[in-house]
Chains A and B, each alone.
Chain A
Amino acid sequence: MLLKLVPENTNIPFVNARKVAYLLSTLLIIASIGLYFSKGLNFGIDFKGGFLIEAHTEAPADISLVRSLTGGLGLGDVSIQTFGAENQILIRIEEHPTLSLNEVVLLVQTTLEEGVNDTIVFQRTESVGGVVSGELIQSGIMSVLLAVGAVLFYIWIRFEWQFGLGAVIALVHDVALTIGMFSLTQLEFNLNIIAAILTIVGYSLNDTVVVYDRIRENLRKFRKKEMPDLINLSLNETLARTVMTSVTTLLALTALFFFGGEVVHGFTAAMIWGVFVGTYSSVFIASPVLLWFELRREPEEKLAEGQEVLPPQYRE
């Protein structure tokens, strides 16, 4: 007996729930925007500039000693925390107005090596200056905008403009909710998260395109069906695949989340959230919004000229 999460021949009226979905999504987007402006994002040093120094000691680290040592250097706001184990320290320092990046790193490293009564190993240092962080912000925003634009263009070419618009509405929705999630959880927002957002864009589109493909096919197959019914049918026909692919992707991501290590944590968290949001948006947003736009049913003769000729049994 084969495992089937979705029974055969479902007939769930997804489209009928669109008002609820629109309301929910609108509220969530407003909440995301609100969070973004009130709480903001916990920008990592990639975008904010500054220093991150990761070190470990033999014995559990004396945080207050590390704090007083680094605090005495006059480097401004220094935050120190342990992570993972008791002997793992993470030090964050703001960009310094006059000292150069390597001077600050060297200063902190020598001060700690001399002041801490334990062998201290510096595992990772990252320093980003204001010029570079500004550029990274710019290229991050550019890449997300460009991706959305390129996709709009591709779908417009492959489908109709209505589909392209629908897909982009869903994308903006996904990106907004992902940023909202990062604002709410205050997970660090860094370069990897931009990569995650672009992958979410790719994934969500992947989902949306599969459904759109079916809607387009059904538009040719069932010439007299009402639009909401047609969209519902398409969603139900592709439901098994939607669920299956989400589950396999989530399985892989969950493994990464728990076993992939600290560095990819934020990235996988974003991706997991993105899979949920992307799946939701392609079913409840991207498809129903097509009702807003007049979808053109191609006249019989145009089809005969042959964009994609279907065998007779597929015609109603």
Chain B
Amino acid sequence: MLDFPRWKVTAIAFFSLLGIMLALPNFLSDEQLENVPGFLPSKQISLGLDLQGGAHLLMGVVMDEVIQNMIEDKRLNLRDELLDEKINHRIVPRGERLVVTLVNEEDRENALRIIRSEIIKVGASITSVGSDDIIIEDGEGNVINLTLSEAASIEKKNQSVEQSIEVLRRRIDALGTKEPIIQQNGTDRVLIQVPGIKDTKELLKIIGTTAQMNFHLTDLNLTERDINSGRRPPTGTVILPSYEKDANGEPIRNHAIKTRVMVSGEDLVQAAQTMDENNQIAVSITFNTKGGKQFADATRANVGKPFAIVLDNEVISSPNIRTAILGGSAIITGGFSSKEASDLALLLRAGALPAPLEVLEERTVGPGLGADSVAAGKVASIIGLVAVMVYVALSYGLFGMIANFALAVNIFLIFGILSMFGATLTLPGIAGVVLTVGMAVDANVLIFERIREEMRGGKNVLSAIDAGYSRAFGTIIDANVTTLIAALILFQFGSGPVKGFAVTLAAGIFTSVFTAVSLSRLIIVMWVRKKRPAVLKL
């Protein structure tokens, strides 16, 4: 029992020191950390939002609307193409389907040809050509049934989430916070974490703007009187209020807008404040290729007429088309002040959400409360640790002191592991550390009690220690595996702070088995070798 192979001693010492080294950066201030030489670890544990303050938001993309919009786009597109070929028909949406009813049955072949030409491949990759976005189902005589394909709907949903993330990132970055996390969560959700944010109200506001932006043509057949009469406008036209409000909060005017989208706001890639040729303040807009082409077609056919930029069912601007705009970029003039122009540019840049977002979950913690929690956690940990150590020392004497040393190393190791993996420490996580302190001594308790028993059974010091360690080991493993199972399940199913608890609990299980079994044994063996005690005070 006394021969502890050299490699084992080295390994135990190495891991203990490594753990301590990894944990040390957490005890340094930021300036001190700057001066740490590069080869030494400098990673700190990151504090969870509950400890450093910040906001956590779970947003859901309203997918019904995404799909409905997609169907509607398709419907309008097909309608125009069929009308261009002089095919009289009716086309109506039914859930995720479109039903085309032809006036003349003999147009069927022609109509099918046009519909097929409008089918787009989606989900194409290196390994597959992709699949059709619309599936033509059999219909009788003059009826053609079309269904949105599974692949198209999946791709659209993914795109919507990705675009929402982009828009949210731009909006949140505009707040100037540090390192916001904005990521996809499940198929239709976005998780936002903004650490250290002071004004959560601003965040809630910009996130709450579930704006959708599109470019529309205006309906010039309606007079000002028609628009303000409150009567229902003809099909294909809606009356929308202006975004600008008067002193009473009423819109300054109403607009008659064609419901058909001329260019989607998704296709706008840039908007900025600029100057026009007459040195008037203006806003420049740039579309991507698809948007540019649509914008060119629309402007060519509508020179001299106004179009409208509609954000969240309000008209933010209604400029006149002076000339056909073929290059995909244009400027909007309109006697803006500098503030108005930059506001409009910001609205345009950040405006286009592909679908409404709803807040599913929102948690914010002010920085003051987080700091209080850290302080409370520190106090509780230290008091708990000291109480446990005193009790262990009183119960096991010298052996207790060795167990306490192992416990202290254990705490460094926990922090070392958490730092190494860049884990997040939460308040329940601190509770996990304190709990581990209480439970970590269990392994040593099992060993020491076993040694006591073996001594009562008449064994000499050496074989009692040996038997104590080897017999308690199986029990220690069984006992810790069960707790580990609970920790793993917590990690899998828990969210946020609870996950943090599971992480520290699991880390504590590994480190406590190591320190209580290997490290304490090494120290005890070294002590026995040196002192050769005839009886143990245990």
Listed in ascending order, the chain A residues whose CB lies under 8 Å from chain B are 2-4, 8-9, 54, 100-103, 105-106, 109-110, 121-129, 131-132, 136, 139-140, 142-143, 146-147, 150-151, 154-155, 158, 191-192, 194-195, 198-199, 201-203, 205-206, 209-210, 213-214, 237-238, 240-241, 244-245, 247-256, 258-261, 263-264, 267-268, 271
- Residues of chain A with a CB closer than 8 A to B505's CB: 199, 202
Most buried by B among A100, A103, A122: A100
CB distance from B475 to the nearest CB of A (A): 4
- Residues of chain B with a CB closer than 8 A to A250's CB: 438
Give Cα A132–Cα B185 distance, bound, in whole angstroms: 13
- Asked if B204 and A106 make an inter-chain contact with CB atoms under 8 angstroms apart, the answer reads yes
Give Cα A140–Cα B376 distance, bound, in whole angstroms: 27
- Asked if A125 and B490 make an inter-chain contact with CB atoms under 8 angstroms apart, the answer reads no
- Residues of chain A with a CB closer than 8 A to B58's CB: 132
CB contact between A123 and one of B368, B379, B456, B497 (< 8 Å): that residue: B368
Q: Which residue on chain B has the smallest CB distance to residue A259?
A: B380
CB contact between A124 and one of B364, B481, B484 (< 8 Å): that residue: B364
- Residues of chain B with a CB closer than 8 A to A139's CB: 493, 495
- Residues of chain A with a CB closer than 8 A to B475's CB: 209-210, 213-214
- Asked if B493 and A142 make an inter-chain contact with CB atoms under 8 angstroms apart, the answer reads yes
Q: Which residue on chain B has the smallest CB distance to residue A128?
A: B361
Number of A-B residue pairs with CB-CB distance less than 8 Å in the complex they form = 244
| Overall SS of chain A's interface | helix
Shortest 4 CB-CB distances between A and B: which pairs?
Answer: A252-B438, A255-B384, A261-B376, A202-B486
Against A, the Cβ 8 Å flags (1 = close, 0 = not) of B259-270 are 000000000000
Against A, the Cβ 8 Å flags (1 = close, 0 = not) of B422-466 are 000001101100110111011001100100110010000000000
CB distance from B303 to the nearest CB of A (A): 42
8 contacts between A and B (CB under 8 A): A123-B365, A125-B363, A202-B486, A238-B449, A241-B445, A249-B435, A264-B431, A267-B431
Q: Which residue on chain A has the smallest CB distance to residue B480?
A: A206
| Overall SS of chain B's interface | helix
- Asked if A123 and B369 make an inter-chain contact with CB atoms under 8 angstroms apart, the answer reads yes
- Given A209-B475, A244-B445, A2–B489 Cβ distance below 8 Å? no
- Asked if B384 and A256 make an inter-chain contact with CB atoms under 8 angstroms apart, the answer reads yes
CB contact between A191 and one of B397, B481, B498, B537 (< 8 Å): that residue: B498
- Asked if B360 and A131 make an inter-chain contact with CB atoms under 8 angstroms apart, the answer reads yes
Tell yes or no: B243 within 8 A of A by CB: no
| Chain B: interface residue total (CB-CB under 8 A) | 80
Give Cα A123–Cα B198 distance, bound, in whole angstroms: 10
Give Cα A54–Cα B435 distance, bound, in whole angstroms: 27
CB contact between A209 and one of B369, B387, B479, B490 (< 8 Å): that residue: B479
Q: Which residue on chain A has the smallest CB distance to residue B366?
A: A123
- Asked if B364 and A245 make an inter-chain contact with CB atoms under 8 angstroms apart, the answer reads no
Tell yes or no: B9 within 8 A of A by CB: no
- Asked if A106 and B369 make an inter-chain contact with CB atoms under 8 angstroms apart, the answer reads no
**Which of B30-38, B151-159, B388-396 forms part of the interface with chain A?**
B388-396
Give Cα A166–Cα B481 distance, bound, in whole angstroms: 18
Most buried by A among B377, B391, B486: B486
- Asked if A127 and B456 make an inter-chain contact with CB atoms under 8 angstroms apart, the answer reads no
- Residues of chain B with a CB closer than 8 A to A4's CB: 395
Give Cα A97–Cα B146 distance, bound, in whole angstroms: 36
- Given A4-B395, A131-B60, A210–B380 Cβ distance below 8 Å? no
CB distance from A283 to the nearest CB of B (A): 15
- Asked if A2 and B395 make an inter-chain contact with CB atoms under 8 angstroms apart, the answer reads yes
CB contact between A206 and one of B358, B442, B490 (< 8 Å): that residue: B442
- Residues of chain A with a CB closer than 8 A to B446's CB: 210, 241
- Given A195-B428, A263-B50, A124–B486 Cβ distance below 8 Å? no
List 13 other contacts, CB 8 Å, given A8-B452, A255-B381, A264-B427: A2-B397, A101-B362, A105-B362, A106-B201, A154-B482, A192-B428, A195-B502, A240-B452, A241-B445, A248-B391, A251-B387, A253-B434, A261-B372
Q: Which residue on chain A has the smallest CB distance to residue B474?
A: A213
- Asked if A260 and B60 make an inter-chain contact with CB atoms under 8 angstroms apart, the answer reads no
Q: Which residue on chain B has the smallest CB distance to residue A52?
A: B363
Give Cα A154–Cα B477 distance, bound, in whole angstroms: 12
- Asked if B478 and A245 make an inter-chain contact with CB atoms under 8 angstroms apart, the answer reads no
- Given A199-B505, A213-B475, A245-B445, A136–B495 Cβ distance below 8 Å? yes
CB contact between B442 and one of A124, A127, A248 (< 8 Å): that residue: A248
- Residues of chain B with a CB closer than 8 A to A140's CB: 493
Residues of B334-390 at the interface with A, using a CB-CB cut-off of 8 Å, are 358-366, 368-369, 372-373, 376-377, 379-381, 383-385, 387-388
- Asked if B501 and A195 make an inter-chain contact with CB atoms under 8 angstroms apart, the answer reads yes
- Residues of chain A with a CB closer than 8 A to B278's CB: none
Tell yes or no: B123 within 8 A of A by CB: no
CB distance from A215 to the nearest CB of B (A): 12
- Residues of chain B with a CB closer than 8 A to A202's CB: 482-487, 505
- Asked if B478 and A252 make an inter-chain contact with CB atoms under 8 angstroms apart, the answer reads no
Against A, the Cβ 8 Å flags (1 = close, 0 = not) of B494-512 are 1101100110010000000
Most buried by B among A122, A191, A250, A260: A260
Q: Which residue on chain A has the smallest CB distance to residue B488?
A: A150
Give Cα A268–Cα B200 distance, bound, in whole angstroms: 30
- Residues of chain B with a CB closer than 8 A to A191's CB: 494-495, 497-498
- Asked if A244 and B360 make an inter-chain contact with CB atoms under 8 angstroms apart, the answer reads no
CB contact between A54 and one of B369, B396, B442, B492 (< 8 Å): that residue: B369
- Residues of chain A with a CB closer than 8 A to B61's CB: none
Tell yes or no: B205 within 8 A of A by CB: yes
- Given A105-B204, A195-B502, A247–B391 Cβ distance below 8 Å? yes
Tell yes or no: B538 within 8 A of A by CB: yes
Q: Which residue on chain A has the smallest CB distance to residue B458?
A: A313
- Residues of chain B with a CB closer than 8 A to A252's CB: 384-385, 387-388, 434-435, 437-438
- Residues of chain A with a CB closer than 8 A to B481's CB: 154
Most buried by A among B397, B427, B442: B442
Tell yes or no: B208 within 8 A of A by CB: yes
